[in-house]
A and B are shown apart, each in its own frame.
Chain A
Amino acid sequence: MINAWRHGDEARRDDAATWVVRLEAGGLDDAQAVAFDAWLSASPQNVQAFDAALSVSRAITANAAPLAAALPERRTVRPDLGRRAFVGVGAVAAAAALAVVVAPGVLGGPETQTYVTAKGERRSILLADGSTVDLNAGTRLTVTLARDVRAVTLVEGQAVFDVAHDTARPFLVAAGDRTVRVVGTQFDVRRREGRLSVTVARGAVEVRPSQGAPGTAYRLRPGQRLDHLEGAQIARVSAAEPAEVLGWRTGRLVYREQPLAEVIADLNQQWATPIRIEDAGLAATPVSGVLILDSQDAVIRRLALLVPIRAVRSDAGVILRRDAASDR
């Protein structure tokens, strides 16, 4: 509880942080509001301490995406418990305890779970092994946690995987005719309209042809991105900024020389009203820039600053035309 009448810098910093965290999380009831007001009014140093804590908190929120990408792999809670739950004898009690804290349906053998997000919806899931998966909008994937392997199939869409380290159980993500193999790392996989891309933020992953598919295997390190057209033999590996690629989790899409068609495919996962591009030449126009996902209209307006387009609304959705007037 916050005690408004303690003194000393230490207590002051405690109180300041507690008030900031409490206010950021939700409202105050009458008694708390009166206590908050009294605490701030009690001394100018309290006000200073509050402002300092608030400004650090906001700096962290503003930089959440690059921070998340730059920080070393998340330490998982009780990884041993998670593993033990799957190795039989004596695991019943552990499994029962675990059932309280983890996502449902992962106990009792390698059941396959399906996770789906609708347009405009994002979702974060925790797997029983301590790994987390963030699903972008319009994504469908299945997860099977077996004794010797953790298998995910990305049917469609985009997800960031933050994989708990477990050498005994490789983490495999199948996406079309390629499979990404992981030991413990954070990476983004995107599969839309027959195009696959994999970007690694931490650790290392291997992208190899799925069983029976032709092609070469690639090993990716942090800051590398692989692009692959399904059915093709090869893939292209290039440098990428993971913080940018993973930015969608905080509502930022960052593009560097990506075709407009790809940008629109991403945007069309966010809103019900479809956006179409009128001609193929325009669809291939490279786009570089940052798009903040707030409203569809605002995003299209900002997109028009990056590429010479004009948006026309119709019953069938938004049509993008080349804007002759602003041809640059």
Chain B
Amino acid sequence: MSQHGAPAGPTDPLLEIYLERRGNLVRFFAARTGSASVAEDLAQELYLKLASRDRSEVTIENPIALIYRVATNVMLDRARGEARAGAREAAWRTSAHVTFGGEDVAGEPPADEAVASRQRLRQLVEAVDDLPPQMQRAFRLHKLDGLSHADTAQRMGISVKSVEKHISAALKALTARLGR
């Protein structure tokens, strides 16, 4: 199960919990960063961070919450590193909402990697076009035009919560139609 082998020395309960949940954490990172390979990297970094933490804290109130907090920090650390590496370029990437982590954009993809086959693209277009109008508009503003939930809400004159609902419902419908 573990991809790191058994932790050396006396077992560390936090690392055990991490190893049990590694799959969940990779999914957390993948959804947050939009890149499977960045997610793997970050999961590895998280393991190292947890293994090298200060253990003077004897009891951990809520180990799962702690692991996700550290996970978020690992992700932010990397984002900050990238920001330092090129503030303008990082800003560009964020605004382009192509990805966090630079993977999709900076990874020098071949010209057509991101481009789906004509047939697949037609399926995507039809599926999005069939969404109900408000749901479709929220989904398109967010996913295709790259607006944040808040900006989408402002543009549509509805609450952020409603935007989240619309976009989730749209993704659910699209997954039912296109998934697998």
The answer to whether A and B belong to the same complex is yes
Residues of B contacting A100 in the complex (Cβ-Cβ under 8 angstroms): 157
**Does B41 belong to the interface (CB within 8 Å)?**
no
Residues of B contacting A57 in the complex (Cβ-Cβ under 8 angstroms): 143, 171
* Contact yes or no, A72 B105, CB < 8 A: no
Asked, given contacts A54-B30, A298-B108, whether A33 binds B121 with beta carbons under 8 Å apart, the answer is: no
**Does B83 belong to the interface (CB within 8 Å)?**
no
- Which listed residue, A27, A60, A77, A271, touches B32 by the CB 8 Å rule? A27
- Indicate the member of B72, B136, B156, B167 with the most A CB atoms within 10 Å: B167
- Which listed residue, B21, B106, B168, touches A295 by the CB 8 Å rule? B106
* Contact yes or no, B96 A56, CB < 8 A: no
- Indicate the member of A27, A53, A56, A77 with the most B CB atoms within 10 Å: A56
- Which listed residue, A50, A64, A67, touches B146 by the CB 8 Å rule? A64
* Contact yes or no, A53 B140, CB < 8 A: no
- Which listed residue, B104, B111, B133, B137, touches A289 by the CB 8 Å rule? B111
Bound-state CA distance A127–B32 (Å) is: 31
**Does B31 belong to the interface (CB within 8 Å)?**
yes
Residues of B contacting A22 in the complex (Cβ-Cβ under 8 angstroms): 164, 168
**Does B8 belong to the interface (CB within 8 Å)?**
no
- For A55-77 the 0/1 string (1 means CB < 8 A from B) is 11111111110111011101101
Bound-state CA distance A54–B112 (Å) is: 21
**Does A94 belong to the interface (CB within 8 Å)?**
no
Residues of B contacting A27 in the complex (Cβ-Cβ under 8 angstroms): 32, 72
| Partner-binding segment picked from A10-18, A188-196, A258-266, A312-320 | A10-18
- For B121-157 the 0/1 string (1 means CB < 8 A from A) is 1001100110001101100100111111100001111
Q: Taking chain B's interface residues, is the majority helix, strand, or loop, or is none over half, making it mixed? A: helix
* Contact yes or no, B146 A293, CB < 8 A: no
Residues of B contacting A28 in the complex (Cβ-Cβ under 8 angstroms): 68, 72
* Contact yes or no, A18 B140, CB < 8 A: no
* Contact yes or no, A292 B65, CB < 8 A: no
- Which listed residue, B98, B155, B164, B180, touches A25 by the CB 8 Å rule? B164
* Contact yes or no, A293 B121, CB < 8 A: no
Bound-state CA distance A219–B31 (Å) is: 44
By size class, the interface of chain A is 35 or more
- For B83-121 the 0/1 string (1 means CB < 8 A from A) is 000101101110111100010111011011011100011
**Does A251 belong to the interface (CB within 8 Å)?**
yes
Residues of A contacting B137 in the complex (Cβ-Cβ under 8 angstroms): 74-75, 77
Residues of A contacting B31 in the complex (Cβ-Cβ under 8 angstroms): 19-20, 23-24, 54
Residues of B contacting A327 in the complex (Cβ-Cβ under 8 angstroms): none
Q: Offer 20 A-B interface pairs, CB within 8 angstroms, sorted by A.
A: A13-B172, A13-B175, A14-B168, A17-B175, A18-B164, A24-B34, A25-B149, A30-B68, A33-B64, A34-B62, A37-B64, A56-B178, A60-B124, A64-B146, A75-B136, A250-B146, A271-B88, A292-B105, A294-B106, A295-B106
**Beyond known contacts A60-B124, A122-B96: 20 more, CB 8 A cutoff:** A14-B168, A23-B31, A24-B32, A34-B64, A40-B24, A40-B27, A52-B175, A54-B31, A55-B179, A56-B171, A67-B128, A68-B144, A68-B145, A101-B154, A120-B88, A132-B145, A290-B112, A294-B92, A294-B93, A298-B106
A residues with CB within 8 A of B = 13-14, 16-25, 27-28, 30-31, 33-34, 36-37, 40-41, 47, 50-64, 66-68, 70-72, 74-75, 77-78, 100-101, 120-122, 124, 126, 132, 134, 249-251, 270-272, 289-290, 292-296, 298, 302
B residues with CB within 8 A of A = 21, 23-24, 27-28, 30-32, 34, 62, 64-65, 68-69, 72, 86, 88-89, 91-93, 95-98, 102, 104-106, 108-109, 111-112, 114-116, 120-121, 124-125, 128-129, 133-134, 136-137, 140, 143-149, 154-157, 164, 167-169, 171-172, 174-176, 178-180
